[in-house]
Amino acid sequence: MTTYGLTPGLMDRLRGDHARIAGVVREFMEQSDAAVSILDWQRLSELIEFLDYYADQVHHPLEDRLFDQLVDRGLTPIERHLVFKNLREHQEIRAMTEVLANQIQLAKKGGAITRDEFVETAAEYVNLQRRHMNFEDSRLFPLLEAQINDKDWGVLSGVLHEEEGLTRENHK
Ligand SMILES: [Fe+2]
């Protein structure tokens, strides 16, 4: 396997995203801990909103685009399996974010939710998010760095910047 020895901006961005997401996941864990006597639904809703937007709608789709590039690059069957496993995990995380966001919204409006069930689901979610990021950091990011060359990074960065520019235009 050739290693290009690059530290492209995109990899820095992905690692920076992980650090930000991990910080929010940590606060979410503290706020939803079984030992907390009164859950702060307002704060929990802000945290889950960030995870829904930043992890599920920005960071994971960006990774999906990059990992898509890997699939046709002569990966071993095991490496291909890792890429597809990761795509499925993004869907799994998104589904859990939605479940938790709905429960939090309901609780905020004074609706009846089972606290034990919420705390248990929140703990599973925190574990999943952490396990997932560790998996990407240790297995998938090295694959990306090894397989994507200078020219690819240039093209990918260009496409992504263009898309971000268009998105900003649409929001004006
Ligand atoms: Fe990630």
118 versus 156: the higher-pLDDT residue is 118
How many residues can be counted in the chain? Answer: 172
171 versus 125: the higher-pLDDT residue is 125
Cα–Cα distance measured from residue 62 to residue 67, given in angstroms and rounded to the nearest whole number = 9
**162 CA distance to ligand 1 centroid (A)?**
21
Residue with tokens 């574990």: 127
Task: Compute how many other C-beta atoms are within 10 angstroms of the C-beta atom of residue 90.
Answer: 19
**16 CA distance to ligand 1 centroid (A)?**
10
Residue 172 has pLDDT above 70, yes or no: no
Cα–Cα distance measured from residue 90 to residue 104, given in angstroms and rounded to the nearest whole number = 21
**pLDDT confidence of 1, banded at 50, 70, 90?**
very low
User: Backbone phi, then psi, for 6, in 5-degree steps?
Assistant: -95, 155
Summarised one tens digit per residue, pLDDT across range 74-99 is 788 999 999 999 999 999 999 999 99
**117 CA distance to ligand 1 centroid (A)?**
27
**pLDDT confidence of 3, banded at 50, 70, 90?**
very low
**pLDDT confidence of 68, banded at 50, 70, 90?**
confident
Residue 166 has pLDDT above 70, yes or no: no
Q: Which amino acid is at 130?
A: R
Instruction: Check residue 168 and give its pLDDT.
Output: 55
Cα–Cα distance measured from residue 153 to residue 168, given in angstroms and rounded to the nearest whole number = 22
Residue 55 has pLDDT above 90, yes or no: yes
Question: What domains are defined for the chain?
Answer: 9-162 (1.20.120.520)
Supply 28's token pair.
Answer: 């979410």
**pLDDT confidence of 163, banded at 50, 70, 90?**
low
Q: Which amino acid is at 56?
A: D
Q: What mean pLDDT do residues 120-148 have?
A: 94
**41 CA distance to ligand 1 centroid (A)?**
26
